[in-house]
Chain A
Amino acid sequence: MNRIASTFSSLGAQNKKALIPFITAGDPEPAMTVRLMHELVQAGADIIELGVPFSDPMADGPTIQRSSERALQHGVGLKDVLAMVAEFRKADQTTPVVLMGYANPIEAMGYQGFAMAARESGVDGVLIVDYPPEECEEWVNQLEHQSIDPIFLLSPTTPKARVEKVAKLAKGYVYYVSLKGVTGASHLDLTDVRKKLAEVRAIISVPIGVGFGIRDGATAKAVAGLADAVVVGSRIIEEIENAPSDILLSNVNSLVKSLRAAIDQAAVPLS
């Protein structure tokens, strides 16, 4: 069993839901990333989504765009991100790390070269926003050769037939985008999420994470009552953006701890 599967399986045994924070590698500066990753784990993160900075982050709202721009100002590229994961792995061999980003840095490195280097660094899963199932047969093959999970997005507008297509390819977990829009938006309709997740669960066997628009403990708790994992990105990036550097780690720690506590209060639905 790989790190993602064993994480979900041990959480399941404890009746707990996964907390998946997202940060952009290299934000606010490259030297902080590995320290932040350890801090996230210490505060209760189960899986870390690590954003690969890209010059044109089309699916992201202003908060994550700015984090990408800050990282790019330090020249952080995909190879640097892999080096950060390798550094993190020296002290943490259990917490899964999922890279999240856009296609072109992968295209530039080559599928095979990337997949081999990613495995070497200790990456567990990869979510490329603009590789939908139709365009990624070879990409998925190369990841699977290296036992890396391809993570896919599902959205409120994904029809059933496409959920079935994703079900065939998805490993690790799927990431349900809980609203129409970009990351960091503020509205999230729990009734819609509940309804759609029931439909998705009937088709997909891997765990379901929900993200986009989760900004506070109350929403995190509510989502944890419906999904297997709660993904929080922009809210954490805001903390990184606004905190003076001397208290950045402790501010992020408190935020993630509060999200952890909220999620752990959620009752596990009877399945």
Chain B
Amino acid sequence: MKIYDLPDKRGHFGPYGGTFVAETLIAALEELLAQYQHFRDDVDFQAEFSHELRHYVGRPTPIYHAKRWSAHLGGAQILLKREDLNHTGAHKINNTVGQALLAKRMGKTRVIAETGAGQHGVASATVAARYGMECIVYMGSEDVKRQATNVYRMKLLGATVIPVESGSRTLKDALNEAMRDWVTNVENTYYIIGTVAGPHPYPMMVRDFQAVIGREAKIQMTEEYGRQPDALIACVGGGSNAIGLFYPYIDNDEIRMIGVEAAGKGVDTNQHAATLVTGRPGVLHGNRTYLIQDDNGQIIETHSISAGLDYPGVGPEHAWLKDSGRAEYVAVTDEEALSAFHALCRFEGIIPALESSHALAYAAKLAPTLGKDKLLLVNLSGRGDKDMVTVAQQSGIDL
């Protein structure tokens, strides 16, 4: 049996990944890689990480059988990996706890982060408070407007939120600005990237911290269902919740892995964020991967109802899983995601994040085509409380 062992030493997943950054960042990335490789194999580090995940984050998260919704859809059984039950309400905290513990051991006193929807910013502000570090969060000024509650949440936690006014004023520009901060303050600053993108070692490191999702699921499926699911389904923006679920299953070829991107107003319009479904390979934010770009190689503004999926790139490991055929990538529209959002509220009493609603929407399409004995494991990556204003607006309600 083949054993999946990517990335290679220099962070490549096939032709993707790598370290495409300015010389000024190379030394910092090399230091980070060396430190991460050291602590990855360090018993004390792993013990503290596990302890924090259990007692601070609230892991393990359960797998919940959405029986009423499955029955309504009339096909495969839909199981939900409940990452929405984590402290701060999403899977993002798994990674920020891991990176904050690393930052602390590296002697860094200041952490910076980029955020789109604000979930990663909140998760970063949370761990910075927990471990006593200064925290600066870069957020596109458009997103600051769209996500006022999360901005306030970060401030309550003691973080400084800096609105980014350059470019399209969204997640990608926040990432650019965080990189600029890191280059300037590299001695005392640790950059907590929130997804499986960026230069090596971030895609690998964030994946390793998020892989707790898939490892738990494997054990829980055996214990509770006596078998593994037939398919894994997760939404993909940068792709951290998806890779967290997929990674421990990569060598299990019989299990389908399906990543669901944001089709926005439709993949045939210019308002979507379906990078793997419609994009072409290129280089952005330190790695080679699929990108939404024009013929000149300029990055195009994306659109999704879900700020967390509104990103023109995608993690390089997903690019490789697509090309190698191991994973499938599809896209669902804003409308389809909203419909799944409402369905889960009404059938199961769970308010999902709009990001996760994309995965739910695809599960709702797939389930009726399969027998009732099939199991679909959907990563419910976050809860939807943050999306109240957006969803209400869609129904013409001003909260």
Interface string of B202-246 (1 = CB under 8 A from A): 000000000000000000000000000000000000000000000
Q: Answer yes or no: A106 CB below 8 A from chain B CBs.
A: yes
Q: Say whether A107 contacts B297, CB under 8 Å.
A: yes
Within the assembled complex, what's the spacing in Å between the Cα atoms of A47 and B141? Answer: 38
Q: Answer yes or no: B281 CB below 8 A from chain A CBs.
A: yes
Q: Answer yes or no: A109 CB below 8 A from chain B CBs.
A: yes
Q: With both chains docked as a complex, state the minimum distance between the C-beta of A182 and any C-beta of chain B, in angstroms.
A: 5
Q: Which residues of A have CB within 8 Å of B19?
A: 132, 134-135
Q: Say whether B23 contacts A153, CB under 8 Å.
A: yes
- In chain A, positions 60-89 with a C-beta closer than 8 Å to chain B are 61-62, 65, 69, 72, 77-79
Quick one: which of A109, A129, A131, A157 contacts B297, CB cutoff 8 A? A109
Q: Answer yes or no: B18 CB below 8 A from chain A CBs.
A: yes
Within the assembled complex, what's the spacing in Å between the Cα atoms of A177 and B299? Answer: 26
Q: Which residues of B have CB within 8 Å of A159?
A: 27
- In chain A, positions 183-205 with a C-beta closer than 8 Å to chain B are 185
Contact A56/B20 with A105-B297, A157-B27, A182-B184 known, Cβ cut-off 8 Å = no
Q: Answer yes or no: B298 CB below 8 A from chain A CBs.
A: yes
Interface string of A236-253 (1 = CB under 8 A from B): 000000000000000000
Quick one: which of A78, A79, A104, A185 contacts B282, CB cutoff 8 A? A104
Within the assembled complex, what's the spacing in Å between the Cα atoms of A77 and B295? Answer: 9
Nearest residue, chain B, Cβ from A159: B27
Q: Say whether B24 contacts A130, CB under 8 Å.
A: no
Q: Say whether B22 contacts A153, CB under 8 Å.
A: yes
Q: Say whether A131 contacts B26, CB under 8 Å.
A: no
Q: With both chains docked as a complex, state the minimum distance between the C-beta of A26 and any C-beta of chain B, in angstroms.
A: 11
Quick one: which of A61, A78, A154 contacts B296, CB cutoff 8 A? A78
Q: Answer yes or no: B285 CB below 8 A from chain A CBs.
A: yes
Q: With both chains docked as a complex, state the minimum distance between the C-beta of A262 and any C-beta of chain B, in angstroms.
A: 26
Q: Answer yes or no: B10 CB below 8 A from chain A CBs.
A: yes
- In chain B, positions 332-363 with a C-beta closer than 8 Å to chain A are none
Q: Which residues of B have CB within 8 Å of A77?
A: 295-298
Contact A130/B26 with A77-B298, A180-B183 known, Cβ cut-off 8 Å = no
Q: Which residues of B have CB within 8 Å of A58?
A: 21-22, 176, 179-180, 285
Q: Say whether A158 contacts B296, CB under 8 Å.
A: no
Contact A104/B18 with A157-B186, A181-B184 known, Cβ cut-off 8 Å = no
User: In which size bucket is the chain A interface?
Assistant: 35 or more
Q: Say whether B184 contacts A132, CB under 8 Å.
A: no
Q: With both chains docked as a complex, state the minimum distance between the C-beta of B293 and any C-beta of chain A, in angstroms.
A: 6
Within the assembled complex, what's the spacing in Å between the Cα atoms of A44 and B357? Answer: 61
Q: Say whether B296 contacts A79, CB under 8 Å.
A: yes
Q: Answer yes or no: B248 CB below 8 A from chain A CBs.
A: no
Q: Answer yes or no: B35 CB below 8 A from chain A CBs.
A: no
Contact A62/B166 with A135-B19, A155-B23 known, Cβ cut-off 8 Å = yes
Q: Answer yes or no: B284 CB below 8 A from chain A CBs.
A: yes
Q: With both chains docked as a complex, state the minimum distance between the C-beta of B200 and any C-beta of chain A, in angstroms.
A: 10
- In chain A, positions 154-189 with a C-beta closer than 8 Å to chain B are 154-155, 157-159, 162, 177, 180-182, 185
Q: Say whether A130 contacts B21, CB under 8 Å.
A: yes
Nearest residue, chain A, Cβ from B296: A77
Q: With both chains docked as a complex, state the minimum distance between the C-beta of A106 and any C-beta of chain B, in angstroms.
A: 7
Contact A55/B26 with A61-B180, A77-B298, A134-B19 known, Cβ cut-off 8 Å = no
Contact A104/B22 with A56-B167, A157-B28 known, Cβ cut-off 8 Å = no
Pick 15 A–B contacts, CB within 8 A, sort by A: A56-B176, A59-B22, A59-B180, A59-B183, A77-B298, A104-B299, A109-B297, A130-B286, A132-B20, A132-B26, A153-B24, A155-B23, A155-B27, A157-B24, A182-B180
Residues on A facing B (Cβ under 8 Å): 54-59, 61-62, 65, 69, 72, 77-79, 102-109, 129-132, 134-135, 152-155, 157-159, 162, 177, 180-182, 185
Inter-chain pairs besides A65-B167, A69-B167, 20 sampled, C-beta below 8 Å? A54-B298, A56-B167, A56-B284, A56-B285, A59-B180, A77-B295, A103-B20, A103-B283, A104-B282, A104-B284, A104-B298, A108-B282, A132-B19, A134-B18, A134-B19, A155-B22, A158-B26, A177-B22, A177-B24, A181-B184
